[in-house]
């Protein structure tokens, strides 16, 4: 397992070793001891979510007010997503910076986001499926959203899916009405 920090401190990409034979593939996608060694912190699990999306579905930018904040461990189990992390921690030297990682069912990477970071995913093909391991249970009163297309953030969203087909972005009404970063 390889774990490296992204350009947004507090976010890591985890690339597991894959074991393949005639039966299929085995992946160890999380190991507490290796995670704690690389990140310097434990990950306490309180909720697991699963989301299935059509190509072009854009979910986010979502975050939970900090405190309490919500850490997430995100894995694509089918298809492909562009996973985007945004630093929303006031006073952080990287406040407003974003980074992205391709999560797919080939490399089986995961992304860990610390509390205070925003998160969005864009599905790059139909039936893409992602799981979120969450450090706290969903708390609607602390849930917040930002406009994923805010020019101040300047996120470079792909215009084509994994198969080269043009993407038509689809957001929930809540995400489409989200306020700008500023």
Give the CATH number for residue 14: 2.60.120.10
Select which of 73, 132, 138, 169 is catalytic: 132
The range of the structural domain enclosing residue 13 comes to 2-148+157-168
* CA separation for the pair 157, 141 (Å, rounded): 29
Q: Let me know if 132 is a catalytic residue.
A: yes
Residue 175 within a domain:
no
H helices present in 50-176, as ranges: 173-176
Number of structural domains found in the chain: 1
Residue 72 within a domain:
yes
Q: Could you report the per-residue pLDDT of 15-36, keeping only the tens digit for each?
A: 999 999 999 999 999 999 999 9
Q: How many angstroms from the chain centroid is the CA of residue 63?
A: 11
Residue 31 within a domain:
yes
Q: Let me know if 62 is a catalytic residue.
A: yes
Residue 178 within a domain:
no
Select which of 62, 63, 73, 119 is catalytic: 62
* CA separation for the pair 53, 151 (Å, rounded): 25
Residue 131 within a domain:
yes
Q: Could you report the per-residue pLDDT of 34-90, keeping only the tens digit for each?
A: 999 999 999 999 999 999 999 999 999 999 998 999 999 999 999 999 999 999 999
Residue 173 within a domain:
no
| Cβ-based neighbour number of residue 169 at 10 Å | 14
């Amino acid at each position: 397992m390889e774990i490296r920090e992204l350009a947004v401190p507090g976010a890591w990409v985890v690339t597991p070793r894959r074991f393949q034979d005639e039966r299929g593939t085995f992946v160890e996608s999380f190991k507490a001891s290796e995670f704690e060694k690389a990140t310097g912190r434990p990950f306490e699990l309180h909720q697991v979510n699963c989301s299935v999306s059509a190509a072009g579905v854009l979910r986010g930018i979502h975050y939970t007010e900090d405190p309490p904040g919500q850490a997430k461990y995100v894995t694509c189990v089918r298809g492909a997503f562009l996973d985007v992390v945004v630093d929303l921690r006031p006073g952080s030297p990287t406040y407003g910076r974003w980074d992205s990682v391709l999560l797919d069912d080939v490399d089986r990477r995961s992304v860990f986001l610390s509390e205070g970071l925003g998160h969005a995913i864009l599905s790059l093909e139909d039936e893409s499926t992602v799981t979120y391991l969450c450090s706290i249970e969903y708390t609607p009163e602390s849930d917040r959203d930002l406009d994923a297309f805010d020019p101040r953030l300047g996120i470079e969203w792909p215009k084509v899916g994994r198969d080269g087909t043009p993407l038509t972005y689809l957001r929930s009404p809540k995400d489409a009405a989200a306020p700008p970063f500023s």
